[in-house]
Structure 1
Amino acid sequence: MALTAKKKGFFGRLSQRIGDVLLMRGKVDEAMLDELEEVIITSDIGMDTTMKIMDRLRERIRYDRIEDPEKVKEVLTEIIASLMDKGERCALSEEYPLIIMMIGINGGGKTTTIAKLGHRLREQGKTVMFAAADTFRAAASEQLEIWGNRIGINTVRHQEGADPSAVLFDAVQSAKAKHIDVLICDTAGRLQNKKNLMNELEKMNKVIDREYPEAARETLLILDATNGKNAISQTKEFNEVAPLTGVVITKMDGTAKGGIAVTVADQFDMPIKFIGVGETIDDLEAFDAKAFADSIFEGEEIGVPSEDSHPESETETENREEEHE
């Protein structure tokens, strides 16, 4: 995961606040730990996860007899990285054929994340196809097809309002016939009616079970980092609708509230597969827990949004999504 110093956003601010606590106190005592706890809680990491971090930190300080504030920073980095590191589960499945179901609320960056992931897989030499099964939101299928055309990926789509399972059925048949490595399926983001969404996803999964049982599966939730604590409730609710294999966190630029990544990984034992770090087609990076934790305490921001962005940026796509909702 590439980390590049840039304007002071979430990581820069948090690093400075932690550094200020360590510098002002000058020694490792309970007053310093209480201030660190307050800083972490206010960084969107969440109360339960913060308590876990601080309990482990206090234990390490006692066990290792830590007296140097710089060592405290080092141990904090290790603890946060360990909470986020889910081992092999953080990697996207390398079993093929693979079907990836992409779910998440409208406006969270789902369409552009599908395009970025498809592009990333193509760059790795995989054959990719899109299934435009978000037939509920106006223009969703059209937007996905436009992205697909730009990056050389075919999109299977029906008319607006069509049965999503019918779209997926046709996409599966086409993917099988063409020996496609990865089929990425867009889905509707109607979390406000969980029962309908659950029934829809269950029906789509039955299509895969029946028509392509040999295919490996991933179900990825797209979360907007700028949503802060709302992203936590979305993870809980979507995980109840469809058991997730991982999350992709979008808009992790200098202004994002990156602490939600720590909470999602810890509270739900959820692997973070990728992070979106900008608005161009290449701005999707495989998640690295150690690099992420290091970036918090080094004050480096993740990614550098490019001025020479793709013909339609993530922000432009999300604006169009909001117009059609």
Structure 2
Amino acid sequence: MSETRQVRPPSGDDLDRAWAAVAGRLDPTPLAPTALAPGALLKLESFQPTGSFKVRGAIAALSALPAGVAAVTASAGNHALGMAHAAAATGRKVTVVVAETASPAKVSALRNFPVELVRHGSGFDAAEAHALELAGPGRVYVSAYNDPHVIAGQATIGRELDAQAAGPLTVVCGVGGGGLAAGLGMWAERRGDVRVVGVEAAASRGVSASVAAGRVVTVTVGETLADGLSGNIEPGCVTPSVISGRVRLTSVTEPEVGEAMRWLFTRHGLVAEGAGAVGVAAVLAGKVEIVGRLVVVLSGRNIAPAAYAEAIA
């Protein structure tokens, strides 16, 4: 991306408005007991109608749009499915730009929703650049992570935990662009007795590098089972500044991600994509200091059957 977009961090009012929008359209996801630690719980965001927590931010973002304004985004993954579901739920007009090389299965899934689907470019960067060109008067670009309303929407996981899990908590979640960790960090700061631990794939540590540098930096990104967390963040992204001081960051290796996916299947019968399993991976690897009760966000289940079978073999 050649230019830096000016994006503001979310406010407390944004969190409240997001909660009203999301609570009115999504049922709370359940908690499941787990043997990860005494009294530990899994927050099953994989049970969302789109299979991922991303639908929360999408609903919050579309609900915040002024009347008559449409949305445009670039994604062929969980954010795209979230935006498509939110379009159907809110009646908003949404354009989703995907690369020409996007998975046919994901493109087919998106065609089941009332969105305008545009195929452009040979990769995500080209698709995103085209989506940004399409944004303008009457149409707003909604990032998967660098958007105040998306971040506020992800914070609604915490609002559900207020009613589901009393007392001091350690909440563990994955970190890709940082929208989920940023939202949970803001919620935890409000609640006061929660520590949030964000987990990156060791092959893609753009957020932690940016937090350490005090500005957005570019890192080398390798292949990872947690492909939903892979990639650098856009220039000027607000998530590192929101995360800094609110969220503890760690990372997990590829063998640790695979082991967590197998563990979730064999112990709980739960399917988790790599990005959804990194929190469990960090706990199993002893990389999380637990204070109070442990809650791990199982953030998504969307993985191709062949890739899943290979990962847990």
Specify the TM-score bucket, using the shorter chain as the normaliser. Answer: 0.3 to 0.5
TM-score (norm 1): 0.34
Determine which structure has more spread, i.e. the larger CA radius of gyration.
1
Structure richer in helix, relative to its length: 1
Which one scores higher on RCO, CA 8 angstroms, separation ≥ 6?
Answer: 1
TM-score, scaled to structure 2? 0.35
